[in-house]
Amino acid sequence: MDKKPDKPEAPDPGKAEKAEKAGKPEKPQRPVQLSFFFYEPLKERPKGTIYFDNSTKGSTKFKWLRHNTYRAEVIYNGVKYRKRSVERADCERFLEEMADKYDKGLLE
């Protein structure tokens, strides 16, 4: 005689405790992933490059000095604009200002 399949078992609230006693840890539940609509959009970075320059160009045989500065470079309308600074924040501010000037049409 064929048996009908039993109803699925209801989740047992003490299942985790029983698993711990048996020495088998229960698998952790995966967190619910939120839709991307809840995340803030990433701030668009301005065009350009920032790099750290520690070259020794211009030093002599007896004078070994390194530049140790940040450089920001950006090209608008075929013209390269550069800025040197000890602090990276100054270079980032420079790139943002240049992007604003370009948007307003102040760069030739």
Is the predicted pLDDT of residue 33 greater than 80, yes or no? Answer: no
Residue 40 lies in a domain: no
29 falls within a domain:
no
Tell me if 69 is assigned to some domain: yes
Inside any domain, residue 33: no
Average pLDDT for 34-47: 69
Question: Is position 75 within any domain?
Answer: yes
Q: Give me the pLDDT at residue 75, please.
A: 94
3 state SS for the chain: CCCCCCCCCCCCCCHHHHHHHHCCCCCCCCCCCCCHHHCCCCCCCCCCEEEEECCCCCCCCCCCCCCCEEEEEEEECCEEEEEEECCHHHHHHHHHHHHHHHHHCCCC
pTM value surpassing 0.75: no
In a domain, 9, yes or no: no
Q: How many domains does the chain have?
A: 1
- Domain residues for the domain of 53 are 49-104
Average pLDDT for 43-51: 87
pLDDT beyond 90 at 101: yes
Residue 90 lies in a domain: yes
Work out the average pLDDT over 47-65.
81
Structure confidence at residue 37 as a pLDDT band (50, 70, 90): low
User: Does 2 map to a domain?
Assistant: no
Instruction: Reply yes or no on whether the pLDDT at 20 is more than 80.
Output: no
